[in-house]
A and B are shown apart, each in its own frame.
Chain A
Amino acid sequence: MRVREPRPPTPRTGERGMTLAELLVALTLLGMLSVMMMGGLRFGARAWERTEESSGHMNAVVRTHAFLRARLSETTRPDAVTGEADRLTFSALWLTALGAANLYEFELFHRDGEALVLAWRPMPDEDAAPEELSGERTLLEGVTGLEIAYFGQPPGYPAADWLDRWEPDWPAPLLVRIEAELAHPRRDWPTLTVGLPG
């Protein structure tokens, strides 16, 4: 039986590991840095998410304002607007297909699930519009209250004033003002006031 002679230790010149103390300091630093990075990452992700939500909300507000302003400012019928403090009904032209428009009746209201909802259906006296063109969609989430005011001088009133309802047989108001109360304290609904063609 051959006996292997033990290998002589390889002399590694100039190669020396860290001392334990150095390693500990480096590890501690690395640990602290990773904790900071994780915290920063979480903070960044949350801030990003919040910003995205708030800009999404702002986009919805801009869309809602633009749509309501355009529809309300081009209402033509004298009986176009009726409503109460939490519900607005108005008629306006809207597309039924590309190149074809019909008079629609729009209804803006607040639903309990904290949403501002717009429903529409073709006016009953419009012969061409099929009933399946009716529908509804949520314009804005997180709405806890709606306050609509109407400015005008209904028959029998001494002067034009802000009222919290508008009867169907009154001529159209001069202004409609829509205020929304939002669930989120830092969200914003700028007052929407639209002038109607007088």
Chain B
Amino acid sequence: MSRSPPRRRERGFTLVEVLAAFVILSLTLASAYAALTGGLRWERRAGETVSSVLLARSYLAEAGVARPLAESVTEATLDDGRTVRVTMREVEPVPLETRPRLLAWEVTVEVVQPGGGALSLTELKLAPP
């Protein structure tokens, strides 16, 4: 009759070991969740930045057409909490022999997002004096 050899050194986990394993598992999971939520937050920030670029381009298109070129700083807060600041500045006259004479304007559109982060686009516009 075969008899299983006596198994030595085989015993279950102790409660403390199981607890330690659970703690390590929870820490790992917690860091994984933190990474996930961080990634999602950055994704949202990226979307907001893209949207702000599109918005800034629209403001640049208006400058010199629907908003006259003049030394000015105008600031507006939109419904979604973004702040748009349009700065128009005449560039030092360049001795260009153009006829008619043209002035160069530097138009800067700055968009500040409520969740933090800002970006600015600058364009040069030429216009008769």
| Chain A residues close to B by CB (< 8 Å) | 10-18, 22, 25-26, 29-30, 33, 36-37, 40, 44, 47-48, 51, 54-55, 58, 61-62, 65, 69, 151, 160, 162, 174-175, 177, 188, 190-195
Contacts and interface: CB of A to CB of B under 8 A. Distances in A.
Given A11-B6, A14-B8, A33 B25 contact: yes
Given A29-B18, A190-B51, A192-B54, A14 B9 contact: yes
B43 interface: yes
Nearest to A65: B54
A14 B61 contact: no
A139 to B, nearest CB: 14
Interface of B: 3-4, 6-15, 18-19, 22, 25-26, 29, 33, 36-37, 40, 43-44, 47-48, 50-52, 54-55, 57-59, 61-62, 65-66, 80
B12 A193 contact: no
A22 B19 CA distance: 11
A13 to B, nearest CB: 6
Contacts of A188: 47-48, 51, 80
Contact of A54 (B7, B8, B14, B47): B47
Contacts of B62: 175, 193, 195
Given A44-B36, A58-B47, A190-B54, A16 B3 contact: no
B40 A47 contact: yes
Contacts of B14: 22
A14 B9 CA distance: 7
Contact of B15 (A16, A26, A194): A26
A29 B17 CA distance: 13
Given A16-B12, A58-B50, 7 more contacts: A10-B3, A12-B6, A15-B7, A51-B43, A51-B44, A58-B51, A188-B47
B26 to A, nearest CB: 7
Contacts of B66: 151, 160, 162, 174-175
B33 A40 contact: yes
Contacts of A40: 29, 33
30 contacts: A10-B4, A10-B6, A13-B8, A14-B8, A16-B11, A17-B12, A18-B15, A22-B15, A29-B18, A29-B19, A30-B22, A47-B36, A47-B37, A48-B40, A51-B43, A51-B44, A54-B47, A58-B50, A61-B54, A174-B66, A177-B58, A188-B48, A188-B80, A190-B51, A190-B52, A191-B55, A191-B58, A193-B58, A193-B59, A195-B62
